[in-house]
Chain A
């Protein structure tokens, strides 16, 4: 490999046969797909029959790095997991902080592809070029933190990096996550895919190195970063001091987009019980970070008194405060800390979990389900005991937990009674705490994102900051395309989306200037745009083969039909007509067929995906 930041090798692990092999990647491949997201989608497109059930043994888990892992560039301490999602049935990737990304590089790989299903619970131990399948029978049923500790002890190395699932993954909760240290590859249910493969954990240790193509140029970039970052308050005070909870008060009080009681409104009167100032003054223990990140947006919070005394967690982050707080109608941050820690330990996505509980609460209050269906629990908004009991029941699939473990869309289809109109999800993925009604770009963005209701495909940050008018329809398709190009490139490098406040909200020359010193590609902006489009359209092509079309690019009926009921954004929403108008514009700019939402042959050929065009022609 002549480029910097790559090892040129992918480790392939077959759990069924317990055999491993090495696949080499070429210079051209690296340049065409960059890494992380780009590598994962290409491998998954080539390896998976997109019509399979996500729990089929032939589903593939791609554990990928980008060129930045293991190199000192702020926020590069990450890795990516991808698979066909049991929630969306489409391509899904989820990024997590964790030293394991760097260790994969140091072990000599750009990524690991895991296929098949083990006959008994196992974990994989990758020690440079030695790969072992180790029994996980005594780890099965264990929480994520104890699993990691037990593996470190078994191997006898406290430095070892481990990514593990908890009981939720073992029980195939459709939104089970994968935990590394205390950080989550949270969304989309890849933890459940691991569980379906009888794979409890992946442990990696590498004795090698990674280095940039041009160290001097990278040093110059670091000088630029260190100067420029000083001018960005969010990265020097907001996130380092308060973390993402700082968003609670502005999203609620300025933007009126704080989903409340399953989005019956978007202003939460109890916000003061959930805000960053309260967390910092009464619950904060210390700051924490992903590897290679000086920002340290993560915080360790504990409950010192009251009902949830003794609960301690790394987090909650903003999304968790939304999902278990305002969405469940709860104004006690202590409960949120408890719920956050339980989800981390059981290995479950806090967003999907909280939003599904909130959905069930609305079904209960509307009389669509009764105590007879809920094991006697009173699913009223604000009932904190029900939240805690639900988390355990979901993770173990006990009673009504078995229904909730399916996620809000599947639960709605079972409950019926038109409940699907207020199941807060897109393509099966629960929507996070960034309003599709108060932010026009998120309305379009959620509708078209490959992952469905994800705020890491389109980003809300630029609309909060006023870089794009949050109410405008005009020009929004182009804005959303720009943000999605940036996030997919960020996910391929892999760096943190929080750098958007420094680098820009849409793909631009600054991203080129950051990639070139590490890789030595000498990308132009135009070439990087093509890389982004290639990755995004390949995701779409995967989903098209899985059956997704324009009709699926939509929002919950509630968002299309009911304006926000109260608060600063009262009256706002995007109706079906407006959404369709933006969709038309979006497909046209993308070079996708407006009627079907399928990328056109011309477009795919232009970005170097002739083979994909041929595949789609077969449909």
Chain B
């Protein structure tokens, strides 16, 4: 199944830190969906905690600046249909995109060494679907 994303709308996975219980089930189901395995380093979302009440989520926010695309020396990244898409043939695993992202939304896959970035799970984001407290929601922003 594939969905067509209207070009004038931008998807965003929104995070409600008050609702989040820091269970990290989003990380587990993200890895399972994409790789059939569990691992925090192959999850495209991570939740981190600093101090007793401060929670942050680390994920691609589809930001307007597209730091990652600008940083890629091989032009391997592009924005298509609401997602940052990696052309793995062009990518040489330099990691500049990882360093450029201020949201810590990109990491290199530990084995393939290619960037892994939230792709909304083909329109049905698993993190949103499995969050037990509704802390993650998929919204569409108008341009």
- Chain A residues packing against B (C-beta within 8 Å): 70-72, 77, 99, 102-103, 106, 145, 149, 158-159, 181-182, 206-211, 215, 285-294, 296, 298, 300, 312-314
Let me know if B39 and A294 touch, CB within 8 A.
no
Nearest residue in A to B37 (C-beta to C-beta)? A209
Q: How far apart are A60's CB and chain B's nearest CB, in angstroms?
A: 28
Residues on B with C-beta less than 8 A from A208 are 39, 41, 110
Q: List 12 A-B contacts (CB under 8 A).
A: A70-B39, A99-B24, A149-B51, A181-B22, A207-B110, A208-B39, A208-B41, A209-B31, A209-B39, A291-B24, A294-B23, A300-B53
- Indicate whether A292 sits within 8 Å of B23 (C-beta atoms), given known contacts A70-B39, A215-B36: yes
Let me know if A211 and B104 touch, CB within 8 A.
no
Contact with A along B48-66 (1 / 0, CB 8 A): 1111110010100000000
Number of contact residues on B: which range applies?
A: 20 to 34
Residues on A with C-beta less than 8 A from B104 are 158
- Indicate whether A285 sits within 8 Å of B53 (C-beta atoms), given known contacts A209-B35, A296-B21: yes
Residues on B with C-beta less than 8 A from A99 are 24, 40
- Indicate whether A210 sits within 8 Å of B39 (C-beta atoms), given known contacts A77-B23, A159-B46, A288-B22: yes
Q: How far apart are A129's CB and chain B's nearest CB, in angstroms?
A: 12
Nearest residue in A to B28 (C-beta to C-beta)? A72
Q: Determine if B29 is an interface residue (Cβ-Cβ < 8 Å).
A: yes
List 11 additional contacts besides A99-B40, A181-B22; criterion CB under 8 Å: A102-B40, A106-B39, A149-B51, A158-B48, A158-B56, A209-B39, A210-B38, A286-B53, A288-B21, A290-B23, A298-B21
B40, B53, B58: residue with the most chain A Cβ atoms closer than 10 Å: B40
Residues on A with C-beta less than 8 A from B123 are none
Which of A106, A158, A215, A287 has a CB less than 8 Å from the CB of B41?
A: A106
Let me know if A294 and B25 touch, CB within 8 A.
yes
Q: How far apart are A69's CB and chain B's nearest CB, in angstroms?
A: 10
Q: How far apart are A81's CB and chain B's nearest CB, in angstroms?
A: 21
- Chain B residues packing against A (C-beta within 8 Å): 18, 21-25, 28-29, 31-32, 35-42, 46, 48-53, 56, 58, 104, 110, 132-133
Binding site secondary structure of chain A: loop
Which of A149, A210, A285 has a CB less than 8 Å from the CB of B37?
A: A210
Residues on A with C-beta less than 8 A from B132 are 294, 296
Let me know if A312 and B52 touch, CB within 8 A.
yes
Q: How far apart are B133's CB and chain A's nearest CB, in angstroms?
A: 7
Cα A77 to Cα B132 in complex, Å, equals 15
B23, B50, B51: residue with the most chain A Cβ atoms closer than 10 Å: B23
Pairs A-B, 3 closest by C-beta atoms: A294-B132, A207-B110, A209-B39
Nearest residue in B to A285 (C-beta to C-beta)? B53
Residues on A with C-beta less than 8 A from B56 are 158
Q: How far apart are B80's CB and chain A's nearest CB, in angstroms?
A: 28
Residues on B with C-beta less than 8 A from A288 are 21-22
Which of B52, B110, B133 has a CB less than 8 Å from the CB of A296?
A: B133
Q: How far apart are B45's CB and chain A's nearest CB, in angstroms?
A: 11
Which of A149, A209, A285, A291 has a CB less than 8 Å from the CB of B50?
A: A149
Q: How far apart are B125's CB and chain A's nearest CB, in angstroms?
A: 16
Cα A243 to Cα B96 in complex, Å, equals 45
Let me know if A287 and B133 touch, CB within 8 A.
yes
- Indicate whether A158 sits within 8 Å of B50 (C-beta atoms), given known contacts A106-B39, A207-B110, A286-B18: yes
Residues on B with C-beta less than 8 A from A71 are 28, 38
Residues on B with C-beta less than 8 A from A314 are 52
Residues on A with C-beta less than 8 A from B110 are 207-208
Nearest residue in B to A161 (C-beta to C-beta)? B40
Which of A209, A289, A290 has a CB less than 8 Å from the CB of B42?
A: A209
Cα A313 to Cα B51 in complex, Å, equals 11
Let me know if B21 and A207 touch, CB within 8 A.
no
Cα A71 to Cα B32 in complex, Å, equals 9
Residues on B with C-beta less than 8 A from A207 are 39, 41, 110
Residues on A with C-beta less than 8 A from B58 are 158-159
Let me know if B39 and A287 touch, CB within 8 A.
no
Cα A137 to Cα B18 in complex, Å, equals 36
Nearest residue in A to B43 (C-beta to C-beta)? A159
Residues on B with C-beta less than 8 A from A312 are 52-53
Cα A106 to Cα B110 in complex, Å, equals 11
Nearest residue in A to B40 (C-beta to C-beta)? A106
Let me know if B25 and A292 touch, CB within 8 A.
yes
